[in-house]
Structure formats: C-alpha cells, structure tokens
C-alpha cells in the first residue's frame, strides 16, 4: 500500500512558489546573457556570500563534496597524511580525505550536541596528523574554541564542513569563520539550496583562495595559463543565479526553522521516550535537520509514515560502519556514533511547515507511545 504523504520531509515546491517571480526572472536573465560558465551571477554570488558570512573570499565549486576536496588540496593534504573527522557525518567528510591520498582518522561525537568531541581528539593525534575537519552536524556548530586550541597546540589546519550550517553561529562568528577554510554545499535540500549541484569554500586567507580558485579551474586563473594540474569544479551560472535570489531569504528561512524547533521542543516536552536536540550555549543552531533521539525508532518511523508523516534518518550507518571503513574494525571505539545511528530520527522542519503541521506531528508521536505502553 502506497502511503499518502500529508507532510513530506522537505517541500521545495512550496518554497519555489513563494519566490517564483524572482527565480524565473533571474534564470531568464542568465539565458539572455548566455554566460553559463563563470557568468556575472557567479561573481555576484561569491561576493555576496563572502560578505554575508564575514569572509574575505568565496570560491564557488560544483558541489559541497568538491568544496571539501578542494579545501584539503589547498591546505596541501596528501599521501601519508592523517586527517581527523567525526565518526558520524555524511560520507563526504571522510571520502574526500582518501581522495587526497590521505587517511581519515575517526573521532567520536559527543552525546549531547552530536558534534566532534574535543575530549577525544588528542588521543587520535599522531605525528602524521595534519588537519581536522569539524562538521557542524544538523546545523549545530562544533565546540570551535576547544577544537581551534587543539589545532594551534599541534599545528594542525582546520576545515569546517558547513554543508548543514549556513549562517549557524557560535558567539559572533558564523560557521566557516573559525577555521582556515569553510566548505559549503548548496545541494537542493540544504538550508540554502540550488536547483542542482553546487558548493563553495570560504576563507580569509588570500593565498589559499587563489590556490582553490586555480585548482577548481584546471589549475588556471586565466584561460590557457595552467600553472598546476587541477579539476573542473565550477558552479553553473544558472545555479548561482538561483542562489543569489535565495540568499536574500536565508536568514528568514533559518528563523522559521528555529521557531519550528522551539514549537517542537515545547510540544514534546515531558515525553520520556523522546530527547529533542540540545543547542550549544551562545550559539545559533539553524536546524538543517531536527534530530530527535527516540525509543523504538524504526517502529515510530513506520507509524508516522502510516499517518502521512515522512521522516528520515541521518544517518542509519555512522561512517565507521560504512563499507569503505568497516573493515578497520574500530566501531567499538565510537559508542556515541554507534548508539545515535540506532535511535536518531529526523522530523520535518522546513520553513513552510504550519503550526498545525507541527501539532499534528507531535500528536502522532505522543499517540505512538501511548499505544505502545498499553
Ligand atoms: C551535503 C553534505 C556534504 C556534501 O555536499 P554535496 O553538495 O552533496 O556534495 C558534505 N558534508 C555534509 C555534512 C553534508 O551534509
């Protein structure tokens, strides 16, 4: 039986309807200019995004995965090197390390915020360690002060994976502003999403920005002047045109996600079977993902789907349990990530959700646990 979805996990159509005129005219302008690669919208987007996040440079890329890869290459990570990365994340934050010829070294996340646990980093550092990738999972900024101190102490580079953390903040600094370089994804469902694949790096290191710009464009800053070997990882002008429109709405959409999270927290308060997400002190969590921990996760997930509510799991397998890394036989050393994959559940949190949608979802969660305790 095909379940009738009343509340989907994301709703890009509703978002498009709300900004349709602007999007359509931005796309039409690009068609008129025919500057599909390295066009005006790309230059405009890089400038605006750097300004918004408070960096001196933004270099657009073809995806968030490329952004991480280019960030690592720009920092000179290569064969024989080790890079520390969290045990729970999307595979990009591990596979790009291997792609450079280096080795990912996993460190567990902490049990409250689900980000890289600074208390477990030092034991993972060896003479080969060159960098740390701090992933701001779900939109929550890592404990960047502690992580940055460790980087200073051991002379390590710091890369921030901001794919889930557009305009997330710790203190006065936006995600991406703590490290040597921040990598963003504009995959369609991210808080700032293109209508296809796109990404960027931000940095306030001019040299690094120049290297990244060269590397992402076959090693050339000017046509036919290939100073090094690189790759083709440019953003489409059409995607940049979409992002220019959406960037103006990002803050407002994030605020809506944050208020949705507050409503959930209120409605789920006191329910013993559910742990709503915590928010780090003095930070702005932008809730790319609203991840609860819950009892009987898989049964709850199916029950909600029967009620027309689509949920997802981020992620059903921690990185350490994925095929490329599993054989390293180290999963016992990552109890938090291993436990999270069993009981984490992502509820819909997109900005266009109505208050009554949120009430409906919370009611059904409560109904599930009432039923299972009978
Ligand atoms: C989405 C995501 C990426 C990769 O971005 P793509 O644009 O899909 O390549 C990297 N890291 C994290 C944590 C992500 O969520």
Answer whether 93 contacts ligand 1 (Cβ < 6 A): yes
pLDDT at 1: 47
Query: Ligand 1 centre and the CA of 92: distance in Å?
Result: 6
pLDDT tens, position by position, 279-307: 999 999 999 999 999 999 999 999 999 99
Answer whether 185 contacts ligand 1 (Cβ < 6 A): yes
**Contact (Cβ atoms closer than 8 angstroms) between residue 65 and residue 153:** no
Answer whether 139 contacts ligand 1 (Cβ < 6 A): no
Query: Ligand 1 centre and the CA of 374: distance in Å?
Result: 42
Query: Ligand 1 centre and the CA of 120: distance in Å?
Result: 24
pLDDT at 43: 98
Q: Which residues of the chain have pLDDT under 70?
A: 1-3, 329-331, 374
Angle of the 64-74 helix axis to the 206-215 helix axis, nearest 10: 120
Tokens coding 123: 């034991």
Answer whether 184 contacts ligand 1 (Cβ < 6 A): no
State whether residue 290 is helix, strand or coil: strand
pLDDT at 3: 59
Half-sphere exposure for 49 (CA within 13 Å, toward CB): 32
pLDDT at 328: 76
Answer whether 164 contacts ligand 1 (Cβ < 6 A): yes
Half-sphere exposure for 195 (CA within 13 Å, toward CB): 18
pLDDT at 329: 61
Q: Which of 60, 90, 194 to mutate to test the pocket of ligand 1 (most atoms within 8 A of CB)?
A: 90
Answer whether 193 contacts ligand 1 (Cβ < 6 A): no
């Amino acid at each position: 039986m095909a379940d009738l979805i009343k509340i989907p996990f994301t709703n890009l159509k509703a978002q498009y309807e709300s900004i349709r005129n602007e999007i359509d005219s931005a796309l039409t302008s690009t068609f008129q200019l025919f500057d599909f690669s390295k066009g005006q919208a790309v230059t405009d987007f890089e400038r605006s995004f750097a300004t918004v996040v408070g960096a001196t440079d933004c270099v657009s890329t073809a995806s968030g995965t490329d952004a991480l890869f280019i960030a690592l290459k720009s920092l000179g990570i290569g064969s024989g090197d080790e890079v520390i990365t969290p045990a729970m994340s999307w595979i990009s934050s591990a596979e790009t390390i291997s792609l450079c010829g280096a080795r990912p070294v996993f460190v567990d996340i902490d049990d409250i915020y689900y980000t890289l646990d600074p208390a477990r980093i030092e034991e993972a550092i060896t003479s080969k360690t060159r960098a740390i990738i701090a992933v701001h999972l779900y939109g929550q900024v890592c404990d960047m002060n502690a992580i940055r101190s460790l980087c200073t102490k051991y002379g390590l580079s710091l890369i921030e994976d901001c794919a889930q953390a557009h305009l997330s903040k710790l203190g006065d600094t936006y995600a991406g502003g703590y490290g040597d370089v921040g990598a963003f994804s504009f995959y369609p469902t991210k808080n700032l999403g293109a209508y296809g694949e796109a990404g960027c790096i931000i940095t306030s290191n001019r040299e690094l920005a120049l290297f990244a710009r060269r590397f992402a464009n076959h090693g050339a800053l000017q046509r036919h002047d290939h100073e090094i070997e690189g790759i083709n990882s440019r953003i489409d002008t059409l995607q940049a045109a979409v992002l220019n429109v959406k960037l103006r709405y990002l803050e407002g959409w994030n605020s809506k996600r944050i208020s949705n999270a507050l409503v959930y927290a209120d409605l789920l308060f006191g329910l013993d079977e559910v742990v709503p997400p915590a928010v780090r002190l003095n930070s702005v969590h932008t809730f790319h993902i609203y991840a609860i921990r819950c009892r009987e996760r898989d049964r709850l997930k199916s029950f909600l789907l029967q009620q027309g509510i689509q949920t997802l799991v981020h992620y059903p397998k921690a990185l350490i349990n994925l095929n490329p890394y599993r054989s390293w036989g180290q999963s016992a050393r990552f109890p938090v990530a291993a436990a999270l994959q069993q009981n984490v559940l992502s509820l819909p949190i997109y900005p266009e959700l109505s208050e009554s949608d949120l009430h409906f979802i919370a009611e059904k969660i409560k109904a599930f646990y009432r039923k299972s305790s009978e």
